[in-house]
Structure formats: structure tokens, C-alpha cells
Amino acid sequence: ASMLFGSQMLKAGLGGCIINVDSFVTASLLKHVLPYSMSKGAIQALTKGLALEWGPRGIRVNGIAPGLILTPISEALWKQPHMQQWALDQTPLQRMGDVEDLVGAAIFLASPAASFMTGQTLRVDGGLSAGRHWPIT
């Protein structure tokens, strides 16, 4: 989608912004999801690469990296009590995210307030990428 919309923006010559969505797993890998992590890492590299290429033509390219978000696709996973507890234990804000939690980041990235920002990824993950809890109480 970035390439499709970006090529149209380049043809129009008006500049603009593109917001890609990757994932917290690019900063904090998880076992058993390597293909997913690799694909999200590629999106992060695409974000930086396009920022370098298209920045001189007035197109900003940034990303949002959501944490553990409740969506219809992930609903079955998060209905499992042990997965809910794992998510709460890993996230300093101790709650799952919702799609609405990403809106503010998207509005900011698309706004004039981010006019000097490109090639960056905002982590909207409830603190998940800040680190892990030490198991000693």
C-alpha cells in the first residue's frame, strides 16, 4: 500500500505522509512467531528506506508499532485465560490495547505537529517494549 499510494503522491507532486503499521515484536522478539516478526521488521525497514527516498520530495513516512491489541483476528487467542494473564504480566499498563489506542498516534503523525518527523516508529504498546518485569518480588 505504501508503494501504491506513495507513487501517486509522487506523481501529484504535493507531498504528504504515509503511516505504516508494524509491531512491538520488532523491538522485543517472541518465540514461535519468527515469520511474523520478520515481516514486521521488513515494514520497519521499508518505513526508513522510503523516508530517505521520498523525504526530499515532501513525503514523510513513519510507522506505528502497536503492542498487544484486542482485534477480531486476535480475539480467540486472548479469550484463553493463560494468554490474558501473560499479556497483563508483560505490559506495564496491565491491560490489553484497543484499536482506539492507536488513533492519537496516527493523528499526530498525519498532523503538522509531526512535519519534521520521518523514518520513525511510534510504539503504542502500553510499555511492553520498555522491558520485562523481574520475577523477584
CATH class of the domain defined by 2-64+102-125: alpha beta
Per-residue b/e over 68-96, b at no fewer than 16 CB within 10 Å? bbbeeeeeeebeeeeeeeebeebbeeeeb
Three-state secondary structure call for residue 115: coil
Rounded CA gap, 54 and 42, in Å? 18
Taking the alpha carbons of 98, 35, 38, 54 in that order, is the dihedral positive or negative? negative
d(CA 121, CA 45): 10
Strands, DSSP E only, in 5-137?
16-21, 59-66, 69-70, 97-98, 121-124
Model confidence band, residue 53 (pLDDT cutoffs 50, 70, 90)? very high
> Which pLDDT score is estimated for 119?
98
Q: Looking at residue 26, what is its pLDDT? A: 82
SS3 at position 77: helix
What integer pLDDT is reported at residue 13 of this predicted model? 92
- Residues marked active site are found at 36
Specify the range with the lowest mean pLDDT, choosing from 30-34, 56-60, 97-101: 30-34
Closest CA relative to residue 56, chosen from 120, 135, 12, 118: 118
pLDDT value of position 137: 58
Q: Is the pLDDT of residue 69 over 80?
A: yes
Q: What is the pLDDT of residues 81-134, one digit of tens each?
A: 888 888 888 889 999 899 999 999 999 999 999 999 999 999 999 998 887 766
CA dist., res. 103 & res. 109, Å (int) = 10
